[in-house]
Structure 1
Amino acid sequence: MAGFRDRGLAPAGHRVVPHPAVTLLLEFGSGTPIVETSAGRQRGSLVAAPAPGAIWVWGENVECVQVRLSPVVAPAVLGISAADLDGAVVGLDDLWGRDGSRICEQLGEVSSWEERLALTDTLLARRCTARAYVDPEVAWAWQRIVIGRGLVGVDSLAAEVGWSRKRLWSRFSAQLGLPPKRAAKLVRFDHAAHRLAAGVDVARVAAESGYADQSHLHRDVMAFTGVTPANVGSEPWLAVDDIAWAGYPGPGSTVSSA
């Protein structure tokens, strides 16, 4: 989780770099964040599928809490699977109705980021259900991809869970919203992007992250972000962690993460 306050985002907005998670944005400030995607604009609180394509966000007096949920656990919190998002960004009110607005109102009633993050954790925990949305085999395959930093073959995953490649592909896609090969590509990119944000040389990142060469890394980074590997590490919304937020926020902005 991370908390954001920005008095005025840049006119062009901030690029949201894809991440292997379902993203939940809870706004509670006087301003309303505006999110632009290829499908149009969304205002206010929202939910974004993993790697939904190019996203830009801007606004004035924006205050919000961002939560990243593993696609394995996101259904228990959201009430729908990552696949139901169909690779899109949707308004929170469309999913939760008045409950979404009430959560945002409660966030606005507390005065510190620590309280807001703790409150968010409590409120989301209350929404969790015991329903099993994801097969154990699919959850295990996802964890293997994450632990292996995307350097795991689909055939080996299928063999390890005792399924055919076709069955794993079908069940994984239906429950997590993206096929296993795409998931591995996204996880590998995310690891590489964090290494770039840490200041590691592009050639070394390519070699250590499993890319064939620098050109391969360049193609993936451009496909996911629209910027080069040399520039992606400085994108302010790369991720909610200490590496990504080093040297940020800028004037008029604050960030708190947990």
Structure 2
Amino acid sequence: MNSYQERPAPGGLSVALDCLWTRTVDEPAASQQRVVPDGCTDLIWSRETGALFVAGPDTAHQLATVRPGTLVGVRFRPGYGPAAFGVPAHALRDLRVPLGELWTPDAVGRLADGLASATDQSTVDDLLLDTMLARLRNTAPDPAVGALVSAAAGPIGVADLADRIGLSERQLHRRSLAAFGYGPKVLHRVLRFHRAVALARSGTPFADVAASTGYADQAHLSREVRALAGVPLGVLVS
């Protein structure tokens, strides 16, 4: 049996963190899972191997190999993970990177030892949350992240977006790459796609999904889903 569970981040961290999650695979053979862009970055721990690694922001779908065992993750909202990991987001784009390549051996060792000795899921969650909170306190995210996400979610041009946030277009592009791994146009595309998929999974008719998320029509939505997910929307949400 395979299971996946998400747990909301506590109130004080919900601005930066989307959720904690656990995926357990009991089937003996490895399988593949389709991962689609959402603008997020994840810190992931393997309970069986002790490996800690970071999943960076994706620009297109990836087929990840899923092996038997349990993975526990912390998912950062778009723009917040790079501050905790200590590198700009574009350095993680479309990559899965061992945490040891980003943090000092002592920092990775403390977290790995604590996770290995945890006796229950609550202790694992608390340790992950405390570690991420400490990292965010030491290196604050770009203060423009919230405004960038809000503005990029709508149908707005790059020049207007830069003007709304009070940056030059060059500054906007540079800070967007550092925070999200994408320039503002790609950020808008990914955020719109993510909203559309969430609506479709909730049962909203596809034509209504297209209209409410800013696509020109359902055909436009279908083309974008195929480009970013590699499969039709109906297959993706089934």
Give the structure-2-normalised TM-score.
Answer: 0.79
Q: For residue 14 of structure 1, what is the aligned residue in structure 2?
A: 33
Matched pairs, number: 218
* Cα distance in 1, alignment partners of residues 236 and 119 from structure 2: 33
User: Residues 119, 155 of structure 1: CA spacing in aligned structure 2 closer, same or farther, 3 A cutoff?
Assistant: same
Q: For residue 28 of structure 1, what is the aligned residue in structure 2?
A: 47
Give the aligned CA root-mean-square deviation in angstroms.
2.5
Q: For residue 124 of structure 1, what is the aligned residue in structure 2?
A: 132
Q: CA deviation at 1:67?
A: 1.6
Worse-matched range after superposition: 100-109 or 119-128: 100-109
Aligned with 1:227: secondary structure? coil
**Highest relative contact order (Cα 8 Å, sep 6+), 1 or 2?**
1
Q: Give the letter aligned to residue 188 of structure 1.
A: R
Q: For residue 111 of structure 1, what is the aligned residue in structure 2?
A: 119
User: Residues 9, 118 of structure 1: CA spacing in aligned structure 2 closer, same or farther, 3 A cutoff?
Assistant: farther
Identity of aligned residues (%): 29
Q: For residue 163 of structure 1, what is the aligned residue in structure 2?
A: 167
Q: CA deviation at 1:228?
A: 0.6
Aligned with 1:58: secondary structure? strand
User: Is structure 2 residue 219 aligned with structure 1 residue 212?
Assistant: no
Q: For residue 77 of structure 2, what is the aligned residue in structure 1?
A: 70
User: Is structure 2 residue 104 aligned with structure 1 residue 85?
Assistant: no
Aligned with 2:71: secondary structure? strand
Aligned with 1:218: secondary structure? helix
The answer on whether the counterparts of 2:196 and 2:209 sit within 8 Å (CA) in structure 1 is yes
Give the structure-1-normalised TM-score.
Answer: 0.74
User: Is structure 2 residue 228 aligned with structure 1 residue 229?
Assistant: no
* Cα distance in 2, alignment partners of residues 9 and 201 from structure 1: 37
* Cα distance in 1, alignment partners of residues 189 and 28 from structure 2: 30
Name the structure with the higher helix share.
2
Q: Deviations over 1:35-63 (max 9, x none)?
A: xxxxxxxxx43212212433223344321
Q: CA deviation at 1:178?
A: 0.8
Q: CA deviation at 1:174?
A: 4.1
Q: CA deviation at 1:188?
A: 0.4
User: Residues 224, 55 of structure 1: CA spacing in aligned structure 2 closer, same or farther, 3 A cutoff?
Assistant: same
Out of 55, 58, 65, the position equivalent to 1:58 is 65
Q: Give the letter aligned to residue 220 of structure 1.
A: E
* Cα distance in 2, alignment partners of residues 63 and 12 from structure 1: 14
Out of 102, 108, 112, the position equivalent to 1:95 is 102
* Cα distance in 1, alignment partners of residues 121 and 138 from structure 2: 29
Q: Deviations over 1:122-169 (max 9, x none)?
A: 1222333434563x3455223433xxx343332221111233334322
Aligned with 1:26: secondary structure? strand
